[in-house]
Amino acid sequence: MTEAAQTPIIAVDRVDLVRSGKVLLDQVSMAVRPGEHWALIGPNGAGKSTLLSLIGAVQHPTRGDVSVLGARLGRTDIRELRAHIGHVNPRHDIRTALTGRDAVLTGATGSIEVPPRWSPTPEQERRADRLIATLGVDGLRDGVWPTLSQGERGRFLIARALMPVPRLLLLDEPATGLDVAAREQLLSSIDRLRSEHPGLATVLVTHHLEELPATTTHAMLLRGGQVVAAGEADDVLTTKLVTACFGHPIAIERRDGRWSARAASVTP
């Protein structure tokens, strides 16, 4: 492994985050390297989205250090830093009748709508078309946003987030509200994306192990703002550790690369 591959693109060191006297994160540390695909898992209020907001340079820690893409929060222009981070939020607020392709192209400008008098370059158009094909929605490129399903929108939003060629992609509960078929299409698209962009690092937030792509390499379990366990996915996503994280007996199984969870039987 080269030195560049070993250098973390995310380094979170003993971070606390306190808001209105409430501790949201408590001594959290993690390191994400190029090509790693992390999952942040835990019950409601565990601190998953809060940690993602630090990684995405949306918030600053109360104590501790956060470095993203080699830049330390508090010592860098966060607007410039955010331009190099792809962030996928399924609640992305597009209000006009953009086509799926135009929504992807707004990733080149970092805007929600297409800016007035702006036209994409031929290279930007080619990149948008490649990403749309990779995410499996090329047949819907001319579909108008209000008519697209939530799952279809999710795949277009991932393509949009990748337009600036980021080294880091953040996915905030991308499968929320999807039916089983739409979820499986989305996860297959994420797996395909990761295989085609081997240097890309991703961090995905979810409550449900069934929503983890098979390409997930690492996981962190959070409970009450504290780390229960973190490391390689197969070492972390175990019956014992997931049970401790959720405070309920949960049996974990992995089959064909995918995880499932069910209530474990309790011996009286």
pLDDT tens-digit series, residues 51-84: 999 999 888 999 999 999 988 988 877 788 887 8
On the 0-12 / 13-18 / 19+ scale of CB atoms within 10 A, 245 is buried
**Per-residue pLDDT tens for 12-37?**
999 999 999 999 999 999 999 999 99
Q: Which long-range contacts (CB under 8 A, 24 or more apart) does 241-248 make?
A: 242/41, 242/209, 245/41, 245/42, 245/43, 245/46, 245/221, 246/42, 246/43, 247/43, 247/223
Residue 113 domain-assigned (yes or no):
no
Cβ(144)–Cβ(99) under 8 Å?
Answer: yes
Domain, as residue range, for 234: 1-53+62-76+167-173+200-268
Tokens of 133: 């094909």
Q: Is the dihedral of CA 53, 56, 62, 65 positive or negative?
A: positive
Residue 87 domain-assigned (yes or no):
no
Domain at 218, CATH number: 3.40.50.300
Q: What is the pLDDT confidence band of residue 162, given thresholds at 50, 70 and 90?
A: very high
Cβ(194)–Cβ(14) under 8 Å?
Answer: no
pTM: 0.89
pLDDT at 76: 79
CA distances (Å), 138 to each of 45, 117, 178, 189, 213, in order? 37, 26, 20, 12, 21
Residue 215 domain-assigned (yes or no):
yes
How many structural domains comprise the chain?
Answer: 1
Match 């591959």 to its residue by tokens. Answer: 5
What value, to the nearest 5°, has the Cα angle with vertex 120 and ends 86 and 122? 105
pLDDT at 121 over 90: yes
Q: At what angle do helices 150-161 and 122-134 cross, to 10 degrees?
A: 130
Distance CA 220, CA 26 (A): 14
251 versus 109: the higher-pLDDT residue is: 251
Residue 121 domain-assigned (yes or no):
no
Residue 257 domain-assigned (yes or no):
yes
Residue 249 domain-assigned (yes or no):
yes
CB atoms within 10 A of CB 263: 9
Residue 42 domain-assigned (yes or no):
yes
Q: What is the pLDDT confidence band of residue 209, given thresholds at 50, 70 and 90?
A: very high
Residue 212 domain-assigned (yes or no):
yes
Distance CA 126, CA 133 (A): 11
pLDDT at 1: 47
State the maximum Cα–Cα separation within the chain, in Å, rounded to a whole number.
70
Cβ(41)–Cβ(207) under 8 Å?
Answer: yes
